[in-house]
Amino acid sequence: MKFDQPATINPIDRARVVGQPIDRIDGPAKVCGTAPYAYERHDAAPNAAYGWMVGSAIAKGTINSIDTRAAEAAPGVLAVVTHANAGDLGKGRMNTATLLGGPSIEHHDQALALVVAETLEQARDAAKLVVIDYATGEGRFDLAAAMRGATAPKDVQGSPADTRTGDFDGAFAKAAVKIDQRYTTPDHSHAMMEPHATTAAWTGDKLTLWSSNQMIAWSVGEIARTLKIKPDNVQVIAPYVGGGFGAKLFVRADALLAALGARAAGRPVKVALARAQIPNNTTHRPATIQRIRLGAKKDGTIEAIGHEVWSGDLPGGGVEVAALQTRQLYAGKHRMTKHRLAVLDLPEGNAMRAPGEAVGLLALEVAMDELAEACDVDPVELRIKNDVQYDPEVGPSKPFSSRKLVECLREGATRFGWDKRNPKPGQVRDGQYLVGMGVASAFRGNIVMKSGARVAIDGKGRITVSSDMTDIGTGSYTIIAQTAAEMLGVEASDITVRLGDSSFPASAGSGGQWGANSATAGVYAACMAMRSQLAQKAGLNAEDALFEDGMIKAAGKAIPLREAAGRDGLSVEDSISFGDLTDRYAQATFGAHFAEVGVDVYTGEVRVRRMGGAFAAGRILNPKTARSQVIGAMTMGVGAALMEELVVDTRFGYFVNHDMAEYHVPVHADIPEQDVLFIDELDDKSSPMKAKGVGELGLCGAGAAIANAIYNATGVRLRDYPLTLNKVIAGMAKA
């Protein structure tokens, strides 16, 4: 099915099942412990051996020699794999770093060896016996020091690295009110609950990987390229994934090492990266330095808006696209954005938790707060004043498919009690806490991707949907069941959903907020094909047929689905692809974040008292699972604002705080009341589902609302994240 015209009224619009707050159908399996995760596939790969990764102790250089003799002689050891005996390996297209290093070393803790043994303890202990002699090279580990040598990348997510509209420099110079500030965000770690983990088994020349991965089809291709085998000889299975946040978009060292270890040991091998190995061995969100300039009239109308971003990555890597939202979020005739990439020898920087907008809005939305104060305009009203219903870089010829930012700001403000905010900083006190409120806009682009599914109905009327779509804790099983139930006129409980297997039709996968909308649209396409087949077998016209109560109803007839399917049942497969609507219309999701904080007057400690948000993201497929995604994202916003930071040792090029004891993320005690409001919206230009993604939208802007609330509470403006108590108390001492 090709989606190249705005959606008209279709079966999803009945909203009998879709749009309802149905409990997650995978919940019981997870609660009861029967949901199989990658490291636990004893059923499919019995008698698996254990692998332990040996990572590089240096960040840059070469290997003079690796001595594995002591490790190979250790009790229980079955094999030791290094670059010297791994065979001829290629490199995938989606990883910047080589997954198995040697003889050259690209970053600290790059995988250099895998020790395979009968038990985990034996593998771990023997790994300590691997002796590596290094020749250390000079590395670059400091973004600020590397800024001058930064260059413009070829593109950013398919768009130009730099954009310019009008005369930014001239307009900014003449502006009545100017904001020109520098903001920084640190390196971040994904910190998902389930570590990178894979169980691998070979049957002849065919490889099966049970792997914790967000994108099944991508992973098949990457493993095939790396091992130089045919994609048809690779099967990747991931029915349940315990979080990924972008870290598992691409195969990582665990998958390759498990495959190599299983081949060397001649039996299944499982590999899980230890928590302390993840930050330096896998990917992370790179640090940014951002300069934002806003030039406005005295009433707050923006005339010039400029956003420049510097970030770093390994040679051949990509930039953090933190100025993307600035291209579309606010009006302003004169505009400029720039992205610059510095070469650093730190571990790979890549996609993490709403890449781009998540950190870009940490800067832009604080700058907007500063502009509101400079113009003496309420921060909510400033954002409304600068709303624009078309892509401001292109003009009215490219309107937004749907844009309800103003509604989010107005309804969110009313619901949060924004009118009770004292606009003068440092005036509200509750005991030992200074109390303040902050607001920030939320923005995340709407991405759609080709996605397919197989729908089958048996002779008893049971319907099964199969797709390689993954569920990373977001509710994919449930919304896919809801979609099929709506389309075929049955209950969600009548649907069996099978996900996360490369033998199923390829889907969009989970990532970038594109999964739910794209994957359910693929199920929609397959169900439309099934409706046609069932109606034809029943002798009815599919266009006139009504599917409800488990029957096909048309021409005065009501035929049960099982009868139409026949004894042998039916199976159909289809996919949805997308035309040029994304070129003709700007597509994005919008929202408004509100936060109230208390700042301890003695210690500078910040406590989030409550958070609220209003979001417009097309049809909400399941309000219960969508709310769960949004509050989780808001929680990540608290982490980005107040505590998350990978600390770089710029002498040796590694992240010092590489475990959960020292890399701090929010816990239950940090998160009080969270209120979520979904604004009614159908986007007929997004997909036949008229939906858009929502999960990452809940993160974008949340941290900035907290930063702005801290300023309202204390009068201390902080621009370097995280906003830790030492920075707060230092600012309060100067105030």
β-bridge pairing 2-3 and 570-578? parallel
d(CA 144, CA 151) in angstroms, rounded, equals 14
> Where do we find the tokens 């239950």?
668
Q: Is 696 considered catalytic here?
A: yes
Query: Beta strands of 314-430 (E only): which ranges?
Result: 334-343, 429-430
d(CA 630, CA 675) in angstroms, rounded, equals 10
* C-alpha distances in Å from residue 424, one per residue of 76, 372, 431, 711, 715: 68, 12, 19, 10, 8
Residue 647 burial (C-beta neighbours within 10 Å; 0-12, 13-18, 19+): middle
Query: Beta strands of 37-130 (E only): which ranges?
Result: 49-55, 61-67, 77-82, 104-105, 111-117
For 193, list phi and psi in degrees, rounded to 5: -70, -50
d(CA 389, CA 658) in angstroms, rounded, equals 44
In the numeric block, which tokens belong to residue 334?
């004169």
DSSP 339-353: EEEEE--SSPB---S
d(CA 244, CA 420) in angstroms, rounded, equals 39
Q: Which helix (H) or strand (E) is 571 found in, with range?
A: strand 570-578
The one-letter code for the residue type at 95 is: N
d(CA 450, CA 218) in angstroms, rounded, equals 13
d(CA 209, CA 45) in angstroms, rounded, equals 10
β-bridge pairing 302-313 and 334-343? parallel
> What is the rounded end-to-end Cα distance, in angstroms, of the chain?
62
The one-letter code for the residue type at 136 is: T
d(CA 29, CA 156) in angstroms, rounded, equals 40
Q: Coil, helix or strand for 45?
A: coil
- 569, 586 in Cβ contact below 8 A? no
The one-letter code for the residue type at 305 is: I
d(CA 319, CA 342) in angstroms, rounded, equals 8
Distance of CA 174 to the CA centre of its chain: 40
Rounded to 10°, the helix 476-488/515-537 angle is 30
DSSP H helical ranges for 52-107: 69-73
**Cis upstream peptide for 722 (omega within 30°):** yes
* C-alpha distances in Å from residue 469, one per residue of 3, 286, 353, 451, 628: 19, 28, 19, 9, 19
Residue 424 burial (C-beta neighbours within 10 Å; 0-12, 13-18, 19+): exposed
The catalytic residue among 308, 486, 644, 696 is 696
With helix as H, strand as E and coil as C, how does 628-647 read?
Answer: HHHHHHHHHHHHHHHCCCEC
DSSP state of 156: B
Rounded to 10°, the helix 725-734/702-714 angle is 30
d(CA 336, CA 530) in angstroms, rounded, equals 49
In the numeric block, which tokens belong to residue 269?
């091998």
Q: Supply the residues annotated as catalytic.
A: 696
